[in-house]
Amino acid sequence: MADEKKQGFVEHITPRDVDFAQWYTDVILKSELVDYAPVRGCMVIRPYGFAIWERIKEALDRRFKANGHENVYMPMLIPESLLLKEAEHVEGFAPEVAWVTQGGGEKLQERLAVRPTSETIFCAMYSKWVGSWRDLPMKYNQWCSVMRWEKSTRPFLRTSEFLWQEGHTIHATPEEAQEETMQMLDIYREVAEDELAMPVLVGRKSDKEKFAGARATYSMEAMMQDGKALQAGTSHNFGTNFAEAYDIQYLSKEGKLTYVHETSWGVSTRLIGAIIMTHGDERGLKLPPHIAPIQVVIVPVAAHKGGVMEKCAEVSDQLKAAGIRVKLDDRDTLSPGFKFNDWELKGVPVRVEIGPRDLEKGQCVVFRRDTYEKQAVALSELSAALPVLLEDIQKNLYALADQFRQSRIREVHNMEELTQAVNGGFARAMWCGERACEDAIKEQTGATSRNMPFDQTPMGDTCVCCGRKAKHLIYFSKAY
Amino acid sequence: MADEKKQGFVEHITPRDVDFAQWYTDVILKSELVDYAPVRGCMVIRPYGFAIWERIKEALDRRFKANGHENVYMPMLIPESLLLKEAEHVEGFAPEVAWVTQGGGEKLQERLAVRPTSETIFCAMYSKWVGSWRDLPMKYNQWCSVMRWEKSTRPFLRTSEFLWQEGHTIHATPEEAQEETMQMLDIYREVAEDELAMPVLVGRKSDKEKFAGARATYSMEAMMQDGKALQAGTSHNFGTNFAEAYDIQYLSKEGKLTYVHETSWGVSTRLIGAIIMTHGDERGLKLPPHIAPIQVVIVPVAAHKGGVMEKCAEVSDQLKAAGIRVKLDDRDTLSPGFKFNDWELKGVPVRVEIGPRDLEKGQCVVFRRDTYEKQAVALSELSAALPVLLEDIQKNLYALADQFRQSRIREVHNMEELTQAVNGGFARAMWCGERACEDAIKEQTGATSRNMPFDQTPMGDTCVCCGRKAKHLIYFSKAY
């Protein structure tokens, strides 16, 4: 299989409008982002996929640290008794837990959960570490893998194990905790928009959809090309909910024992799935330049002709020196045409072609993956032109995604309109706030509530479902 | 406890010569590198400890990538049947495995091991990915946590879970695999010496001490201040051992199915333990500037006096701009004396003190943690002087450790000398190569063979233990 490919077979990708799910699977496997592992529900992240994750991680980690967060590492095993302390939280996660019951050749006295998330262990440690108001806030984050048992496997979207970051912070006042919750949501939005070129809707989740144990959950929701929503990041305000269950108290300035206010927030390798389904096309991936592991690929044409390879290597060095992530494809057993397809499949934003005739003219051909446009560029101007082009591609990818999304969001006022809207898009609706209506909408249309935007300017007075007095503006859609 | 500390109590550290193990525990807990977790055998890595790990990681990862290695992520759970394929490997790890037996509310049909190491899963994937000689080499690495069930807990040295990197590579020829094995050992040595300021002995392990399933294991061994060895990194050549068990074959240029040659290599958070026990003293940590999260701390003296805090902030900005990792200790409830102790405990290489009298003279006081020396430096020269000073401290820490190590390595020719030498140091000896002698030495002295240096210039003809013909020059010592 690997050998066939190297001999020049072009990979076949199912068109998006034939079968979107199959298109996704074709793209992630053929572009070599991931592979299935010989472990049920688990994925292997291959070098190209992991390199994307490293760039996302870097973009987030830099912002976390700039805002005073520090990284830590907590154990991956959590004793059952510790997990059981916050009732709502346990109920939410218990069905998904993988349990270690044997260790070192012996049956354990207590089952240990492979962390599905780490609130409980962060709480246990915060309870130990916090003394007085002087110790607050504590703003910690960890990068790790978590395990949530799944029946099916969709790499990056739904797997038993995935990689993520989880921030956990404690604060003296409810105001500070809320500010933190909002700040982290905003950092997620910024990274989604500026780095992943992915427009998102931010807002508050309904009580039904909030995190198990949170007072309030906020999310960012992105629209995939099939019109479904992908929850791409969440930020939770726990209030004193966990602090009371895990006894996290500090001595206030007034000498009074007081519960801390806590937040948590996370994004995961799901973001890679979001990038694929936001930007990809029939040829494969389209990576935003900011997070593309390779921003520019150089493909020699008639590489055996005098001077071509030398010039390609020289240009490669120049671009590298200009801070561009460049790759020279010097594989000698493959045709330029095969290489073109291969790098388009892998979503490299820009391709530079250099052949003997280009050399004569002192130029090269520059191809941009987002629009398929080709143009000749003087070699002497390439180092200056490419950073500008890459920024243009970054912006264009965002604009295209935003345009698509706008065209698929509909204001709806009754169930008939809602049903139509969520068939390939989002419905923007007024809602009474009752769980019963959310349940009814889910049952009738398959759509769930996504979030309530911060701008709550009403679209009307009545609930889209029950017709009674509306309380909230909210989005509904089918979701991943 | 946290509050007591903040009010100015100086932490008490057990002196090294009273109880080295207790000194170690005091230092890691009081400097807030780690804490014990409410999970048997596991540690929590706190921000200051994790920041050291991030710097070590960065130093290694940069070198891995420069040598053509790519990062990936493999699942943390390994089915028992997959683990069982290579007999020697299983035998080595089975007693230490933690098993997941329940998931998603059900008993699993097959036990899943929490990875103790990932050879088996890398092999399964390589077998799937490799087609022809054109696909080779594949040089992958992953950063993750692994689990090896332990009865006792010594943070960074011996815990059930720890963080590490594991490189796994496959090659077409035995020569390439051996070259890779040696190259990675050399990268480890370079990082130990140049970044951690820690001299190491590199060489080949005996068959008794090699990795379960390896044809040959190479290690770097560092000497701690109690004269014991700490194995600080290993690099293994598997030959075709795993390739045969997991069927990893490629089609050679001649069209013949051929087994790949494989290597693996790893270092872990143990390196943090090594840094502590190589450089630390009665006041606490001494961190080499290259990996110190904070290289320079600025402590204002009489901070309330006019202009002091402003100048400190200005100097802090200047040093930051000069690329120095600087922290301004502006805590207003603590005395300068307390802060001095606190940052010495935390091993910050350089302290800058600025008070009103310094301001008058346009200078500051610079304290170096390695020698306790203080000197006045003109503020105008500080940005230029500190990088030089930091490099000097880095070199001095290495020189001190090397001097200590040289003084504790003894050439020995009989069991009496060996017994004396390994009581607080390393024995350099000739050995017949027989397991029986290694076992006898272990039983009589508690020392194990460390490794056989590449320079095998003999010290004599006879085995230090049995007196028969010697084959190898080798180091023995007690070890962590």
Q: How far is B73 from chain A (nearest CA, A)?
A: 5
SS3 content of chain B, % helix, strand, coil (to 5): 35, 30, 35
CA distances from A57 to A47, A142, B72 (A): 15, 11, 14
Peptide bond into A137 cis (omega under 30): yes
Contacts of A58 in chain B (CB under 8 A): none
Contacts of A96 in chain B (CB under 8 A): 104
Record: contact B39-A79, CB cut-off 8 A = yes
Structure tokens at A86: 């916050």
* Predicted confidence (pLDDT) at residue B3 exceeds the cutoff of 70: no
Record: contact B44-A147, CB cut-off 8 A = no
* Predicted confidence (pLDDT) at residue B105 exceeds the cutoff of 80: yes
- pLDDT at residue B11 in the model: 67
Torsion of CA A439, A441, A443, A449, to 10 degrees: -70
The order of strands in the sheet holding A409-411 is A409-411, A426-431, A472-477, A448-449
For A454-473, write each residue's pLDDT tens digit.
999 999 999 999 999 999 99
* Predicted confidence (pLDDT) at residue A12 exceeds the cutoff of 90: no
Which chain A residues in 158-217 lie under 8 Å from chain B, judged by CB atoms? Answer: 160-161, 163
* Predicted confidence (pLDDT) at residue A4 exceeds the cutoff of 70: no
Record: contact B102-A101, CB cut-off 8 A = yes
Say what the ipTM of the complex is.
Answer: 0.95
For A361-403, write each residue's pLDDT tens digit.
999 999 999 999 999 999 999 999 999 999 999 999 999 999 9
* Predicted confidence (pLDDT) at residue A134 exceeds the cutoff of 70: yes
- Does this model's pTM top 0.90? My answer is yes
pLDDT bucket at B423, cuts 50 / 70 / 90: very high
* Predicted confidence (pLDDT) at residue A443 exceeds the cutoff of 70: yes
Q: How far is B424 from chain A (nearest CA, A)?
A: 32
Peptide bond into B137 cis (omega under 30): yes
Residue A17 CB burial class (10 angstroms; 0-12, 13-18, ≥19): exposed
Question: How many Cβ atoms are within 10 Å of B374's Cβ, its own excluded?
Answer: 11
Of A39, A71, A104, the CB nearest to B75: A39
- pLDDT at residue A1 in the model: 38
Contacts of A1 in chain B (CB under 8 A): 131
Contacts of B293 in chain A (CB under 8 A): none
Query: Beta partners for B201?
Result: B221
DSSP B90: H
CA distances from A173 to A57, A215, A240, A439, B180 (A): 30, 15, 10, 35, 55
Cα–Cα distance measured from residue A147 to residue A49, given in angstroms and rounded to the nearest whole number: 19
The predicted model gives B295-316 an average pLDDT of 94
Best of B1, B93, B99 to substitute, by most chain A Cβ atoms within 10 angstroms, is B99
DSSP B256: -
CA distances from A438 to A185, A435, B396, B459 (A): 24, 5, 68, 82
pLDDT bucket at B7, cuts 50 / 70 / 90: very low
pLDDT bucket at B291, cuts 50 / 70 / 90: very high
What DSSP string describes B118-172? -HHHHHHHHHHH--BGGG--EEEEEEEEEE---SS-BTTTB-SEEEEEEEEEEES
B9 CB near a chain A CB, below 8 Å? no
B71 CB near a chain A CB, below 8 Å? yes
- pLDDT at residue A11 in the model: 67
What ranges in A207-321 are assigned the alpha helix state H? 241-246, 270-279, 308-321
Q: What is the mean pLDDT of chain B?
A: 95
A77 CB near a chain B CB, below 8 Å? yes
* Predicted confidence (pLDDT) at residue A9 exceeds the cutoff of 80: no
Residues whose CB falls within 8 Å of the CB of residue A123, separated by 6 or more in sequence, listed in order: A85, A86, A242, A243, A245, A246, A248, A262
pLDDT bucket at A40, cuts 50 / 70 / 90: confident
CA distances from B246 to A1, A59, A264, B120 (A): 18, 38, 42, 8
Structure tokens at B200: 């190491």
For A99-119, write each residue's pLDDT tens digit.
999 998 999 999 999 999 999
Inter-residue contact A475 to A201 (CB < 8 Å):
yes
Distance of CA B191 to the CA centre of its chain: 10
Of B6, B94, B163, the CB nearest to A132: B6
CA distances from B103 to A403, B99, B100, B201 (A): 43, 11, 8, 45
Cα–Cα distance measured from residue B213 to residue B56, given in angstroms and rounded to the nearest whole number: 28
Inter-residue contact A369 to A393 (CB < 8 Å):
yes
Best of B1, B72, B136 to substitute, by most chain A Cβ atoms within 10 angstroms, is B72
The predicted model gives A208-235 an average pLDDT of 96
Cα–Cα distance measured from residue B5 to residue B351, given in angstroms and rounded to the nearest whole number: 20
- pLDDT at residue A5 in the model: 43
Kindly give the pairing relationship between strand B472-477 and strand B448-449: antiparallel
B129 CB near a chain A CB, below 8 Å? yes
B252 CB near a chain A CB, below 8 Å? no
Q: How far is A323 from chain B (nearest CA, A)?
A: 16
Of B51, B53, B121, the CB nearest to A37: B121
Contacts of B163 in chain A (CB under 8 A): 73
For B450-474, write each residue's pLDDT tens digit.
999 999 999 999 999 999 999 999 9
Record: contact A132-B3, CB cut-off 8 A = yes
